[in-house]
Amino acid sequence: MPYGISESQPDCAAFATVKQEADGSFTTIGCHTTKRDAIDQMIVVSLSEDVEPLGQVDTPDEPDESAMDYEERAPSLVAPEFMAESAERGLRLHEQGLSGDGLMPATVRDARRMVEGEPLSEDKWRRIPAWIARHIGDLDAVQGDEITAGLVAMLLWGGGSTRESARRTQAYAERIVAQLDADEERAPAPKKDQVKGSDENPKYVGDNDLLHPDHPKYSDSRTDSLESVMLSQTMSDTIENRWCVTGADDRRIAYTTLDLRQADDGTTLYGYAAVFDSPSEPMPFVEYVRRGAFSKTINDGADVRLLIDHEGVPLARTKSGTLKLLEDNRGLAVAADLDPSNPDAARVISAMKRGDLNQMSFAFRTIKDSWSDDRTVRELREVQLFDVSVVTFPAYEQTVAEIRSRLLQTAVAAPTLDDKSTSVSVRRAQIALARSKS
């Protein structure tokens, strides 16, 4: 018989996991103080008996299923406790710089949602089974207590550290997807006053008004033009995020591998100057830019300029409105309107069309930061922006090589970093370099 959860069982004060009997009645099999615990038990017993979970039901006076409200039948998109525990461990290892270079910021954001008990998007649930199927083999490479980038990624996806736990998460997500597909087929038709352009609701602007903000097709009609440009075009999470920092704390320059791109009009440049929760190159410590780091400098109306290699006459400027900055869920978004009649701007536009120029950097001063106990991880909590720049030289790779060369020359008995270095050996090198400097 199928299982569900209920808030109205007379023998439970809060949430109950219930079993539906042959006559349609419900029997309590467990009482819980939180909804998540009730859901977890419902899923576990449903998996053990290979039946579809009912989701939340009304008891003891259960209405006919055809009359149930559609939203009550929708599956919970909150990750169960076993996935949240996995994500929490993955976040701890990520904070230690052990997640590798290829980790996407969206993966970290979703892991935090699991830990905080927030619902994941439908798109995330649909991607979990396929991702685990592709990467479950990475767990075979883990020896003993070794921490690999593949292991950290699996933890952040809620898959645990073993094949058994990964399969459990995969099966759980597959059931959520099956429920979502079934609910889409049963979804009620929109009411008359929700139909676009109807006389009853002239303010209705589109189907997105009916979607939860986490739905992959949701878009907020209040989004301003910069956010629309940044989030609706080609700035996707598939771009590799790597960065390094030069200079002293009174003025530092961050070089990144993030693309700077042109809008269709050819004169508008847009990109991300920084991405949150992405580890920097170990120089010798790893840095992270945290959410909110740019909010004060933006809200205070900082007069930020768009320059070429951090010098010269501005191509755009926030004070004039030709440069716009936005801190969104991904990082610091930048959009600049260039004047083709300006010779410097015309050269930039031409170079970008040819593909000769496509990266940027930003200059800043650290206002607030925090360090790990061993001084190998630094978090930038608040920064003051001076400028964002299109970069012609030095390239990101050259900057990394130059800084690393200087660090290794000054290190005492530091392990050698080479192309075959694992995440663990890089981590050991960071610690050795930090100690040699202190």
For 147-170, letters b (16+ CB in 10 Å) and e give bbbbbbbbbbbbbbbeeebbebbb
d(CA 68, CA 4): 14
Domain that holds residue 289: 243-432
Q: Measure the CA–CA gap between 262 and 336, rounded to whole angstroms.
A: 10
Residues 395 and 318 in one domain: yes
Q: How far apart are CA 145 and CA 353, in angstroms?
A: 49
Q: Tell whether 209 and 357 lie within a shared domain.
A: no
Burial tier of 26 (Cβ tally within 10 Å: 0-12, 13-18, 19+): buried
Residue pointed to by tokens 């069982």 = 9
What is the tally of structural domains in the chain? 4
Long-range own/partner contacts, residues 221-226 (CB < 8 A, 24 or more apart): 224/326, 226/324, 226/326, 226/333, 226/335
Does one domain contain both 390 and 252? yes
- What 3-state class would DSSP assign to 134? helix
In terms of domains, do 196 and 264 share one? no
Residue 117 lies in a domain: yes
CA distance 359 to 109: 25
Helices (H), 27-148: 35-49, 70-73, 81-95, 105-116, 122-135
Of residues 386, 378, 218, the one with CA closest to residue 284:
378
Please tell me the number of Cα atoms within 13 Å of 339 on its side-chain side: 14
Q: How far apart are CA 53 and CA 75, in angstroms?
A: 9
pLDDT at 97: 84
Judge contact between 227 and 219, C-beta under 8 A: no
Looking at the domain assignment, is residue 233 inside a domain? no
Answer yes or no: do 381 and 342 share one domain: yes
Query: Quick one: tokens of 56?
Result: 């939340």
pLDDT digits (tens, 9 = 90+) for 124-153: 898 898 888 878 888 887 878 888 888 998
Domain boundary (21, 43, 73) is at 73
Q: Which of 186, 211, 233 is the last residue of a domain?
A: 186
Torsion of CA 118, 124, 126, 130, to 10 degrees: -130
| 32 found inside a domain | yes
Taking the C-alpha atoms of residue 208 and residue 220, their distance in angstroms, rounded to an integer, is 8
300 and 395 inside one domain: yes
- Is residue 94 in a domain? yes
Place of tokens 């109205």: 8
180 and 198 together in one domain: no
Domain boundary among 73, 93, 124: 73
320: in domain: yes
With H, G, I as helix, E, B as strand and everything else as coil, classify residue 29: strand
Take residue 80 and report the two structure tokens written for it: 């169960």
Please state whether the predicted TM-score (pTM) of the whole model is above 0.85: no
Q: What is the pLDDT of residue 383?
A: 93
Res 416: pLDDT: 44
Same domain, yes or no: 36 and 128: no
Whether residue 402 is found in the same domain as residue 331: yes
Closest CA to 297 of 268, 318, 278: 318
- Written as six digits, the tokens of 340 are 């083709």
Structural domain contains residue 228: no
**C-alpha distances out from residue 72 to 11, 20, 56, 60, 318, Å:** 21, 16, 6, 16, 47
Q: Which of 302, 311, 310, 313 is nearest to 338 (CA)?
A: 313
Per-residue model confidence as pLDDT tens digits over 368-406: 999 988 888 899 999 999 999 888 866 666 677 767 666
Same domain flag for 61 and 119: no
Question: Which residues lie across from 331 on neighbouring strands?
Answer: 275
Closest C-alpha to 83, from 178, 176, 204, 180:
176
Q: Are residues 308 and 408 in the same domain?
A: yes
* Low-confidence residues in the chain, pLDDT < 50: 61-72, 190-225, 227-239, 412-427, 437-438
Residue 7 counted as domain residue? yes
135 with 210, same domain: the answer is: no
Amino acid at 213: P
**What pLDDT score does 385 carry?**
93
